[in-house]
Amino acid sequence: MPVREDFLPVSREDMLERGWYYYDFLLVTGDAYVDHPSFGTAVISRVLEKRGFRVAVLSQPDWHDTAAFLAMGRPRFGVLINAGNIDSMVAHYSVAKRRRTRDAYTPGGVPGRRPDRAVIVYANRAREAFPGIPIVIGGIEASLRRFAHYDYWDDAVRRSVLEDSGADLLSYGMGERSMTEIALRLKKGEKIYEMKNIRGTCFLAKDPGECAFENALTLPSFERVRDDRRAYAQAAFLQQNENDHVRGRALIQPTGSRFLIQNPPALPLEGKELDAVFDLPYARWYHPDYEAQGGVAAIEEVRFSIIHNRGCFGACNFCALALHQGRYVSARSRESILREAEKIVSDPDFKGYIHDVGGPTANFDHPACKKQKEHGACPNRQCLFPTPCPNLDADERSYLETLRKLRALPGVKKVFIRSGIRFDYMLRDKDDSFFRELVRHHVSGQLKVAPEHISPRVLHYMGKPFADVYDRFCRKYYELSEACGKEQYLVPYLMSSHPGSGLKEAIDLACYLRENRLKPEQVQDFYPTPGTLSTAMYYTGLDPRDMTPVFVARTPEDKAMQRALLQSADPKNFGLVRKALRLAGREDLIGTGKHCLVPPEKGAKKASVPGKPAKTADRRPDRGGKQKTARGGNKSRAGRR
C-alpha cells in the first residue's frame, strides 16, 4: 500500500516533512482525498505539481469555522475549491429528497462530512479565512451550476454558483488547461480580476463589454429565466448548443446589476497531452489517514479499471456530460493505457481481472466524424439521435486492438467492460469483430446496457435510440453468446418518470418487461440534476429543442406508480400497480391471465380472461419464438446509474 509520502500534504506536519515552509495553492474538496486519476482533485493537484507548484489538499474540512482552512497557513497564490466527484446535493439526497445513509466518497461511508452546496459554503469560508486571496471554483458542481439553473431541492431557479460563492473565477469542464493557465498567470503577478480571456472559465463583470471574445451571445437574464419558463428553456438550449470548443461562442447572462460571462470551452486534451495526465505519479489509493476509519469505498469501483476516453457524442438529454465534458471524444494512446495496466498488474492485490476499460461511453475512442475536429459538433443535429448521422464514423477497430493487447499482458486473466456500451453505435459498425470479441472475452456474465425505456415518446425526449434498435442488439447478443457456448445476460438500465413518460408509457414498458420475463430489482427514477436538457423539460414542461409542451410526472404518487409498474412482479407494489392501471383504464391487466401484470385483490372478482392478449409497447422484439431475453429470468437486474 502507498505510504504517506506518496501523497500531497494534508497537514502542516506533512509540509514540514517535505521541507515546505510555504505552499502555493490550497485545494479544498468535499470528497476524501483519493490520489487516483478518476478523481478530479488528484488530477488537478498533480497537474499543478508537474508545473512546479506546491499544492496542499484540504479534504472534507469542518466548515463551521475557519480553523481547518487556516491550519496549513495562507497559500501564496490562491484557494481552489470543488465539491467532489458528485454534486453535493446529489451525494446527500435521493431523488425522493431523503437523506442518504452512506457516502462512498467519505471514509467509512459516513454521511454528512461535506455541507449541502459545498462549493458555496467552502468558498465563503475560504474568503473569511484568507481575505483578498484569489478563489477559483471548479469540478462537477460548479461546472453544471455555472449559469442560472433550476435547483430540484429548492424547487426554484438559483443564481450562478459563481455569484453565490463569491469566488473570483469558475473553471468549467475538464480543468487541466484553464487551471494551469490561471496558476501560471498568478505566479507572474497578474491579478485574478484581470484574467478575462481564459477559455473554460466564467467571471462576473460590471459591463458586458468586458468579454474578451467576439460574437458573444447574450442569454435571457437570471431574472427572466427565474420568472419565465419559456425563457429558461431557451437559455438551456443555447447553453448546450454553444458548448463546443470549435464553434462555441462566449455567453453573457445578465444577473442583477452584473453580467455572468462564460468564455468559450477550453480545447480538449488529446494524444500526448492526455497521456501525460494519466502518467502522473498518482498513489492510486486513498490517503493512509482513512485506513483506521474504514477506507474509502469509491476506490473499489476504479482501482482495477482504466479510463481510456473523454467526452460523449451520444449526448443523452438527461446526462450531465454534454454540458461538462462536451460531445467531442478524445482518447489516450494505446501505449499509455498499457502502461497503466502494467501498474495495475503490479498491485499485490490484483487477482488478474481488469474490471473496466471505459469512460463516458466505452466504445467511443475518436470523434464522431472526420469533420468534427475541424468544424465542431453540428449545432442542430445529434450524432446518434433520432437515427445515426450518415457521416458517423462507426469504427471500433482501434478500441478492439487495445483490448487484445490488454488481454495478452502477463498476469491478466480477463478484461471486462462494465461502463456504458453504446449499442446503437455497435450495430452501425460494418465489422462485427468487436461485438463478437466483446461477447466472447469481455462480459463477466452480465453486460450492462442502457435502453432506458421502450416508448418512442419517452425515448424522443431522452434522446435515445428507439426500442427496435435495442431489440436487434439483444437478438445478436444472445445469438453470439450461444454460438460461443456462454450463458450470459443483459442488465438493462431503466428509468421511470422521465419527462414525456405518463402512466400509459410506464404500462407499455411494464408489459414489455413481462413479455420478456425481465424482473428488474432496481429502477432509476428520473433525477433532475442541474444543467441537463431533461431537467429543463422537468422544470418548464417544454422541450427546449422545439419549445413544444412535454408531460411531466411531478407528484410523489405519480412517480411512485411509474416506478411500481416497472417492478410489477414485486408483491409489495401490487396496490400501487392496481391503482395505476385503473387510473389509466387498463383493468384488463389486473387478473390471473398470462397477459396480466398483477393479480386482483384477495376476494375480488377476477377481471381478466385467461389468454387475452395484452396491449403492449409500441415496438416489440421479434424473438423468433425463442424469447432470448428470458435467459436472464429473475437474474436480470436494472442497476443504478
Give Cα 246 distance to the centre of its chain. 23
Does 391 have pLDDT greater than 80? Answer: yes
Which run of H or of E encompasses 72?
none
User: Mean pLDDT in the chain?
Assistant: 93
Whether the Cβ atoms of residue 307 and residue 359 lie closer than 8 Å to each other: yes
The mean pLDDT of 75-79, rounded to a whole number, is: 98
Q: Specify the pTM.
A: 0.92
Q: Tens digits of per-residue pLDDT, 541-567?
A: 999 999 999 999 999 999 999 999 999
The mean pLDDT of 369-383, rounded to a whole number, is: 91
Whether the Cβ atoms of residue 129 and residue 120 lie closer than 8 Å to each other: no
CA separation for the pair 420, 451 (Å, rounded):
11
Q: 606 pLDDT band (50/70/90 cuts)? A: low
Q: Classify burial at 210, counting beta carbons within 10 Å of its beta carbon; exposed 0-12, middle 13-18, buried 19 or more.
A: middle
Does 17 have pLDDT greater than 60? Answer: yes
3-state helix, strand, coil in the chain (%, to 5): 35, 15, 50
Give the pLDDT score at 602: 84
Give the pLDDT score at 23: 98
Q: Tens digits of per-residue pLDDT, 528-537?
A: 999 999 999 9
- The residue type found at 55 is V
Q: Tens digits of per-residue pLDDT, 295-323?
A: 999 999 999 999 999 999 998 999 998 89
Neighbours of 79 (CB within 10 A): 26
Does 333 have pLDDT greater than 60? Answer: yes
What DSSP designation does 41 have? H
What does the domain layout of the chain look like in residue ranges?
4-198, 304-441, 445-641
Fold matches, 304-441 and 445-641: yes
The mean pLDDT of 279-296, rounded to a whole number, is: 97
Q: Tens digits of per-residue pLDDT, 78-123?
A: 999 999 999 999 999 999 999 999 999 999 999 999 999 999 999 9
Tell me how many degrees the CA angle 343-347-353 measures, rounded to the nearest 5.
Answer: 85
Does 632 have pLDDT greater than 50? Answer: no
Nearest partner of 483 among 446, 437, 450, judged by Cα: 437
Q: Tens digits of per-residue pLDDT, 399-412?
A: 999 999 999 999 99
Show the 3-state SS of 171-185. ECCCCHHHHHHHHHH
The mean pLDDT of 63-68, rounded to a whole number, is: 98
Q: Tens digits of per-residue pLDDT, 334-354?
A: 999 999 999 999 999 999 999
Nearest partner of 420 among 473, 377, 483, 362, judged by Cα: 362
- Residue 362 vs residues 90, 329, 399, 423, 474: alpha-carbon distances, Å: 24, 11, 9, 10, 18
- The residue type found at 265 is P
Does 623 have pLDDT greater than 60? Answer: no
If you classify domain 4-198 with CATH, what class do you get? alpha beta
Query: Regarding the domain delimited by 445-641, which CATH topology (the fold level of the hierarchy) does it fall under?
Result: Transcription Regulator spoIIAA (3.30.750)
Q: Which CATH number fits domain 304-441: 3.30.750.210, 3.100.10.20, 3.40.50.10540, 3.40.50.880?
A: 3.30.750.210
Does 580 have pLDDT greater than 60? Answer: yes
Give the pLDDT score at 605: 61
Ramachandran angles phi, psi of 235, nearest 5°:
-65, -40
Which run of H or of E encompasses 259?
strand 258-262
Give the pLDDT score at 638: 33
- The residue type found at 491 is V
Ramachandran angles phi, psi of 360, nearest 5°:
-55, -45
